[in-house]
Amino acid sequence: MFFVDTIEVSGLGNRSYLAGGERTAVAVDPPRDVDQVIAAAAGRGVRIAYVVETHVHNDYVTGGLELARVTGAAYLVPAGARVSFERVPVHDGDRAEVDTDAGLAVRALATPGHTPHHTSYVLEENGTAVAVFTGGSLLIGSVGRPDLVEPRLTEHLARAQHASAHRLAAELPDETAVLPTHGFGSFCSSSQAEGSDTTIGKEKASNEALTRDVDTFVADLLASLDDIPAYYTHMGPANAAGPTPVDLTPPAVADADEIAARLAAGEWVVDLRNRVAYAEGHVAGSFNFEAEGQLATYLAWLIPWGKPVTLLAESPEQLAAAQRELVRVGIDRPAAAATGGPARWVREGEVPASFPRGTFADLAGRIADVVVLDVRRSSERAGGFVEGSVHIPVHALHRRLDEVPDGEVWVHCAGGMRAAVAASLLDAAGRDVVAVDDSFDAAGKAGLTVRTP
Confidence of residue 453 (pLDDT cuts 50, 70, 90): confident
Residues 6+ apart with CB under 8 A from 441: none
Catalogue the E-assigned strands of 30-84: 47-52, 74-78
Look at residue 299 in the predicted model and tell me its pLDDT: 97
Burial class, 378, CB count within 10 angstroms (exposed 0-12 / middle 13-18 / buried 19+): exposed
**Residue 308 in 3-state DSSP?**
coil
The mean pLDDT value for 255-283 works out to 98
* Residues paired with residue 108 on neighbouring β-strands, in sequence order: 121
Confidence of residue 184 (pLDDT cuts 50, 70, 90): confident
Q: Are 19 and 2 in contact (CB under 8 A)?
A: yes
147-183 pLDDT tens trace:
999 999 999 999 999 999 999 999 999 999 999 999 8
The mean pLDDT value for 227-237 works out to 95
Query: Is residue 242's pLDDT more than 70?
Result: yes
Residues 6+ apart with CB under 8 A from 376: 391, 393, 394, 413, 414, 418, 440
* CA 333/CA 250 separation, integer angstroms: 9
216-to-161, 210, 221, 223 alpha-carbon distances in Å: 13, 11, 8, 11
Entry pTM: 0.94
Look at residue 192 in the predicted model and tell me its pLDDT: 63
Confidence of residue 193 (pLDDT cuts 50, 70, 90): low
Query: Is residue 186's pLDDT more than 90?
Result: no
* CA 139/CA 15 separation, integer angstroms: 12
Look at residue 159 in the predicted model and tell me its pLDDT: 98
* CA 134/CA 11 separation, integer angstroms: 20
Look at residue 194 in the predicted model and tell me its pLDDT: 61
Query: Is residue 127's pLDDT more than 70?
Result: yes
* CA 15/CA 182 separation, integer angstroms: 7
Of the chain, the end-to-end C-alpha distance in Å amounts to: 55
318-347 pLDDT tens trace:
999 999 999 999 999 999 999 999 999 999
Q: Are 11 and 294 in contact (CB under 8 A)?
A: yes
Query: Is residue 235's pLDDT more than 80?
Result: yes
421-452 pLDDT tens trace:
999 999 999 999 999 999 999 999 999 999 99
291-to-286, 298, 303 alpha-carbon distances in Å: 15, 11, 16
Look at residue 203 in the predicted model and tell me its pLDDT: 97
Residues 6+ apart with CB under 8 A from 195: 140, 141
Look at residue 216 in the predicted model and tell me its pLDDT: 98
383-421 pLDDT tens trace:
999 999 999 999 999 999 999 999 999 999 999 999 999
**Mean pLDDT, rounded, of the chain:** 96
